[in-house]
């Protein structure tokens, strides 16, 4: 019946997160939903974690492989079978001009409703945002400001929102930046640092929200290791005392640096506690330097992230308001 086209102001705005979150929320409310991922290779990931939203047949593959006219016909046909079609349009400003024109042609021909997503940045240019939103004409329904950290509240409330309101841009929701949404999995960390599992590799899909370096601790270990949940600790392989101290508290991952094989004491303790134990040949400094580029592997395709997003969009009836604005409800 309705098509919700999610477009991003710039690369990394979070269109996939919004598309998956909204599709899941509407699916949970009883709507028959078709989710079309962006043309960036994420289709299989979305299908893995949102299989109940993305049908088991090949609609997404057909759409991504089709030309402009064929895409229009496909969407018109699918509108007869689904309550809502959610399309992750990706970052339109990062695509070639001809693709941007094709995108607008598809939106115009199918009367899709466009939802814009902007990742918060203090340097957001009001004029550029206005120009971008007007690319979609009357189909542009509203804007979500994503990734707003706690120190941005004053700027968002007192500058950004009033400025955009003057341009007639409807603000749908401000999404706060949360660690859970940018957290890597154990598997992503281990692959990135080329680590070797010694225990509990089956917990490789656990999320890691905090990274702690275990060294130079001059007080009781609990004051340091017992502060955060969903944490990974990085310790030099020779510091068995610090490793054992860290294992006294909840860990999602223990990484031993400059180490080929963990001590038997540490291995047995980690195995008994169900903590993934990994070694790397690099030293602690080199390992932490590698982890600084980990963000390139992180995405929203994780059950906990999807559940968090759909719950966040259900707060204060945001998904319902969006559904009405987009003609879904």
Same structural domain for residues 267 and 131? no
Please give the order of strands across the beta sheet that includes 196-199: 196-199, 277-279, 253-257, 231-236, 210-213
| Residues spanned by the domain of 219 | 184-297
Q: Which two tokens stand for residue 326?
A: 């987009």
Residues 13 and 151 in one domain: yes
Q: What is the pLDDT along the chain (329 residues), one digit of tens a residue?
A: 789 999 998 888 888 888 888 888 888 888 888 988 876 555 555 555 555 455 555 787 788 888 889 999 999 999 999 989 999 988 765 454 455 788 899 999 999 999 999 988 888 878 888 888 888 999 998 899 998 888 888 888 888 888 888 888 888 888 888 899 999 999 999 999 999 999 999 999 999 999 999 877 777 888 899 999 999 999 999 999 999 999 999 999 999 999 999 999 999 999 999 999 999 999 999 999 999 999 888 988 888 888 888 888 877 656 666 777 766 66
155/43 same-domain check = yes
pLDDT at residue number 23 = 87
Virtual CA dihedral for 154, 91, 299, 294, nearest 10 degrees? -80
Q: Are 113 and 5 in contact (CB under 8 A)?
A: yes
Residue 81: how many CA atoms within 13 Å on its side-chain side? 9
Distance CA 114, CA 73 (A): 19
**Strands (DSSP E) found in 177-286:** 196-199, 210-213, 231-236, 253-257, 277-279
The confidence score (pLDDT) of residue 40 equals: 57
Calculate the CA 279 to chain-centre distance: 28
Residue 81 is classified by DSSP as: T
Q: 230 with 104, same domain?
A: no
Q: Are 197 and 110 members of one domain?
A: no
Quick one: which of 142, 145, 143 has its CA closest to 157? Answer: 145
Q: Could you tell me if 166 and 28 lie in one domain?
A: yes
Q: Are residues 258 and 142 in the same domain?
A: no
Q: How many residues does the chain have?
A: 329
Beta pairing class for 113-119 and 140-148: parallel
Same domain, 148 and 125: yes
Contact between 105 and 132 under an 8 Å Cβ cutoff? The reply is no
Q: Residue 258 maps to which CATH number? A: 3.40.1390.20
In this structure, how many other beta carbons lie within 10 angstroms of the beta carbon of residue 302?
22
State residue 93's pLDDT score.
52
Q: Are residues 177 and 319 in the same domain?
A: yes
What CATH number should be reported for the domain holding residue 128? Answer: 3.40.50.300
Q: How far apart are CA 150 and CA 154, in angstroms?
A: 9
Kindly list the strands in the beta sheet with 2-8, ordered across the sheet, starting from the edge strand earlier in the chain: 33-36, 84-91, 2-8, 113-119, 140-148, 171-176
Count structural domains, the chain: 2
Query: What is the number of helices (H) and of strands (E) in the chain?
Result: 16, 11
> In terms of domains, do 103 and 120 share one?
yes
Q: Same structural domain for residues 48 and 6?
A: yes
Same domain (yes/no): 128, 255: no
């Amino acid at each position: 019946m309705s098509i919700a086209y999610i477009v991003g102001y710039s690369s990394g705005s979070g269109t996939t997160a919004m598309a998956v979150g909204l599709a899941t929320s509407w699916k949970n409310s009883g709507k028959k939903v078709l989710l079309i991922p962006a043309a960036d290779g994420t289709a299989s990931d979305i299908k893995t974690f949102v299989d109940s939203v993305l049908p088991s047949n090949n609609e997404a593959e057909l759409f991504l492989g089709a030309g402009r006219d064929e895409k229009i016909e496909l969407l018109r046909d699918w509108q007869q079978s689904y309550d809502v079609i959610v399309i992750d349009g990706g970052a339109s400003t990062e695509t070639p001009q001809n693709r941007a024109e094709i995108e607008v042609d598809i939106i115009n021909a199918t009367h899709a409703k466009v939802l814009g997503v902007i990742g918060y940045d203090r340097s957001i240019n009001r004029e550029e945002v206005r120009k971008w939103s007007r690319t979609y004409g009357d189909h542009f329904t509203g804007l979500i400001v994503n990734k707003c950290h706690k120190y941005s509240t004053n700027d968002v409330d007192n500058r950004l929102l009033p400025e955009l309101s003057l341009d007639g841009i409807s603000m749908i929701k401000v999404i706060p930046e949360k660690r859970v949404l940018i957290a890597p999995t154990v598997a992503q960390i281990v692959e990135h640092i080329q680590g070797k599992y010694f225990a509990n590799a089956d917990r490789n899909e656990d999320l890691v929200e905090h990274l702690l370096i275990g060294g130079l601790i001059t007080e009781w270990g609990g004051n340091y290791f017992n502060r955060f949940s969903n944490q990974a600790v990085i310790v030099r392989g020779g510091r068995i005392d610090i490793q054992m101290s860290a294992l006294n508290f909840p860990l999602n991952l223990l990484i031993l640096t400059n180490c080929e094989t963990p001590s038997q004491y540490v291995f047995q303790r980690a195995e008994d506690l169900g903590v993934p134990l990994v070694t790397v040949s690099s030293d602690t400094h080199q390992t932490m330097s590698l982890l600084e580029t980990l963000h390139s592997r992180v995405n929203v395709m994780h059950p906990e992230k999807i559940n968090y997003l759909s719950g966040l969009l259900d707060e204060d009836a945001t998904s319902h308001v969006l559904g009405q604005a987009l003609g879904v409800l």
